[in-house]
């Protein structure tokens, strides 16, 4: 019954902002590294941002760094991706993932579409 459900995607103009949300259930959320991936048409899936279990450390791709912010709320079992200064190159399906290394567990959400276009 593990679930990761993304929301918040949509159409936004270049330079605009979106905040993606991911709700986790069916697993011990606080034990998992949470990550956002994205996949654009014709391209490989790429890691956008990662946040550790307690939320104290975050890592970003070169493209995302300085524009995107990943955060989490373990009590609410939620992960967020705040995206600012969006560019057309950010257009992709964004996926929320949960990783628990000791059990080699990895869960994926269904994805949410982000389209940056004028």
pLDDT at 30: 97
pLDDT of residue 1: 87
The gap between the terminal CA atoms of the chain, to the nearest Å, is 39
Q: Please give the Cα distance from 16 to 104 (Å, whole number).
A: 37
Q: What is the pLDDT along the chain (118 residues), one digit of tens a residue?
A: 899 999 999 999 999 999 999 999 999 999 999 999 999 999 999 999 999 999 999 999 999 999 999 999 999 999 999 999 999 999 999 999 999 999 888 999 999 999 999 9
71 token code pair: 């955060």
């Amino acid at each position: 019954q593990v679930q990761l459900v993304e929301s918040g995607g949509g159409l936004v103009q270049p330079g605009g902002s979106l905040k993606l949300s991911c709700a986790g259930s069916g697993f011990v959320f606080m034990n998992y590294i949470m990550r956002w991936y994205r996949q654009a048409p014709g391209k490989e899936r790429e890691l956008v941002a990662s946040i550790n279990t307690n939320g104290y450390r975050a890592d970003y791709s070169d493209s995302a760094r300085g524009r995107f912010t990943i955060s989490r709320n373990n009590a609410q079992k939620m992960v967020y991706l705040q995206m600012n200064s969006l560019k057309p190159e950010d257009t992709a399906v964004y996926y929320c993932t949960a990783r628990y290394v000791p059990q080699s567990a990895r869960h994926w959400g269904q994805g949410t579409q982000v389209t940056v276009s004028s």
